[in-house]
Chain A
Amino acid sequence: SYVLTQPPSVSVAPGETANITCGGDSIGGKSVHWYLQKPGQAPVLVIYVDRDRPSGIPERFSGSNFGNTATLTISKVEAGDEADYYCQVWDTSSDVQVFGGGTKLTVL
């Protein structure tokens, strides 16, 4: 089965840039989607199809996907960005949705 690997945690100071990675075998050939989840809340889509932002998501959120790594980039990080972030792909070979293990973003 397809596996997505995320770092358990990322820490960044306010105003800096956070890069959250999602590793997978040839993930560059798949469409990657990203969600943030704050405690006690449902996940919210922040990036779809590698780099597109849903309406209402700030331009500070961007994505890229190449080779074996997809990256969610949050620029000018704010305290309110503290959350767990999950990547997700649809593994077409098995028709199974796969999530990464999640990354806890801490704003110092």
Chain B
Amino acid sequence: QVHLQESGPGLVKPSETLSLICSVSSGSLSDYFWSWIRQTPGKGLEWIGYVYSTGSTKYNPSLEGRLTLSVDTSKNQVSLRLRSVTTADTATYFCARHAYNTVYWFDPWGLGTLVTVSS
């Protein structure tokens, strides 16, 4: 069964770049869309964007301009880079796989990683 694990720095300074990696095990990146979703403390879920296994992307308009998603099939990893972060970007960040070759539901999700933006 495919397993997703997010990793990255727990603390980022305002105006800097947040970089996260989602490592995928027991499964291939191929033919799947991979999304990042975040959840602010005590709040709901916000979709960040997705990247297909070929590298094509779609971003949430609210983050477009600051966001880059990419895949590294040789390492079986999906990456997120969010530039010019502010305290509003403090959240738990999840990676999730979409259903096979579609962008419908998310299954499974990683455990998530908490990122705090603070000086």
Smallest CB separation, A66 vs chain B (Å): 19
The bracket for how many chain B residues form the interface is: 20 to 34
Segment at the B interface, from A19-27, A71-79, A94-102: A94-102
B72 at the interface (CB under 8 A from A): no
Q: A96-B60, A96-B61 are in contact. Are A54 and B107 (CB under 8 A)?
A: yes
Question: Would B46 and A99 count as touching, CB distance under 8 A?
Answer: yes
Q: Please encode chain B, from 79 to 119, with 1 for each CB lying within 8 Å of some chain A CB and 0 for all others.
A: 00000000000000010000100011111111110000000
Those of B47-85 within 8 Å (CB) of chain A = 47, 50, 58, 60-61
The contact of B35 among A33, A41, A97, by CB within 8 Å, is A97
Query: Are B99 and A97 neighbours in the complex by a CB distance under 8 Å?
Result: no
Q: Is the CB of B104 within 8 A of A90?
A: yes
Pairwise interchain contact B105-A43, C-beta atoms closer than 8 A: no
Q: Is the CB of B105 within 8 A of A48?
A: yes
Known contacts A88-B106, A90-B104, A97-B35; A42/B94 CB under 8 A: yes
- Provide the residues of chain A in CB contact with B105, threshold 8 Å: 31, 33, 45, 48-49, 88
Q: Which residues of B contact A31 (CB under 8 A)?
A: 104-105
Q: Name the residue in A86, A88, A101 with the highest tally of chain B Cβ atoms < 10 Å from its Cβ.
A: A88
A13 contacts across to B, CB distance below 8 A: none
Q: In this complex, which of A35, A43, A102 has the most chain B Cβ atoms within 10 angstroms of its Cβ?
A: A43
Please, which residue of chain B has its CB at the minimum distance from the CB of A95?
B58
B44 near A45 with CB under 8 A, answer no
**Residues of chain A whose beta carbon lies under 8 Å from any beta carbon of chain B:** 31, 33, 35, 41-45, 48-49, 54, 86, 88, 90, 94-102
| 14 A–B contacts from the bound complex (CB under 8 Å) | A35-B106, A41-B111, A42-B94, A42-B109, A43-B106, A43-B109, A44-B109, A48-B104, A48-B107, A49-B104, A86-B45, A96-B61, A98-B47, A102-B45
